């Protein structure tokens, strides 16, 4: 797999060398037919409070840069909390935006509301979400779009130095539903020397 692609540039208002580069990875809100609950909609408010507290703990602010995908659940809670604190935010989507909405927003409980929250976040960004197929090229045969997106997020953060890297994750500690999940990015961040702040969905 080809790693990363070009780091963020061109029209970004984030500092040229952010004080911290804050990645977020975490579970989507459960779909209505999920057999074993992992992040039910009843825990969204508690997750939002814990994510906000994690950002406050590391002193997140306008001198930092935040990166995530924007899926329904943890990603959007993180995005909203960053915007509330004036943290420059970039969304890196694994798919074209219309496909991402269909795959990562609409299938969950209250999917239409999450789509509206996504649009509200996008409307406040300095630039439109970047889409992997456009930024990185067509997905090579046999590769997974979510694995590629995780590595793209990580490479974009590491462009500013591993010592600046922080990762907040909303994670039950288990494996994912498929390739490129939360565990994959957390493991990659740790291997790169970044600091991980974990919010356990089981404790919400």
Q: What is the pLDDT of residue 181?
A: 84
- The pLDDT value given to residue 142: 94
What pLDDT does residue 16 have? 75
* Concatenated DSSP letters of 45-98: HHHHHHHHHHHHHTT--TTSEEEE---TBHHHHHHHHHHHTT--EEEEESS-HH
Q: For residue 56, what pLDDT is reported? A: 97
- Flag whether the pTM goes above 0.85: yes
With tokens 């080809």, the residue in question is 2
Sorted by where each starts, the structural domains of the chain and their CATH numbers stand as 21-203 (3.40.50.450)
Give the per-residue pLDDT at 44. Answer: 97
Regions in the chain scoring below 50 on pLDDT: 1-12
CA distance 132 to 96: 7
The answer to whether 83 and 100 are in contact (CB under 8 A) is no
> What pLDDT, on the 0 to 100 scale, is given for residue 178?
67
Chain length of the chain: 204
10 Å CB burial of residue 16 (0-12, 13-18, 19+) is exposed
Give the pLDDT confidence score for residue 170 in this predicted structure.
Answer: 96
């Amino acid at each position: 797999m080809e790693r990363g692609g070009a780091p963020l540039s061109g029209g970004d208002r984030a500092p040229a060398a952010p004080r911290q580069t804050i990645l977020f990875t975490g579970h989507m809100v459960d779909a209505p037919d999920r057999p074993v609950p992992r992040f039910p909609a009843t825990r969204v408010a508690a997750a939002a409070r814990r994510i906000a507290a994690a950002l406050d703990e590391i002193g997140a602010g306008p001198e930092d840069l935040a990166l995530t995908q924007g899926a329904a659940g943890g990603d959007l809670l993180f995005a909203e909390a960053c915007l509330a604190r004036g943290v420059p935010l970039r969304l890196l989507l694994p798919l074209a935006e219309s496909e991402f909405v269909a795959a990562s927003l609409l299938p969950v409980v209250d999917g239409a509301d999450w789509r509206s929250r996504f649009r509200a976040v996008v409307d406040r960004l300095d630039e439109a979400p970047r889409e992997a197929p456009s930024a990185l090229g067509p997905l090579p045969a046999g590769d997974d779009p979510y694995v590629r997106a995780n590595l793209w997020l990580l490479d974009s953060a590491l462009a500013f130095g591993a010592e600046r890297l922080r990762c907040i994750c909303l994670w039950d500690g288990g494996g994912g539903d498929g390739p490129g999940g939360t565990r994959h990015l957390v493991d990659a961040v740790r291997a790169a020397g970044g600091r991980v702040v974990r919010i356990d969905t089981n404790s919400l």
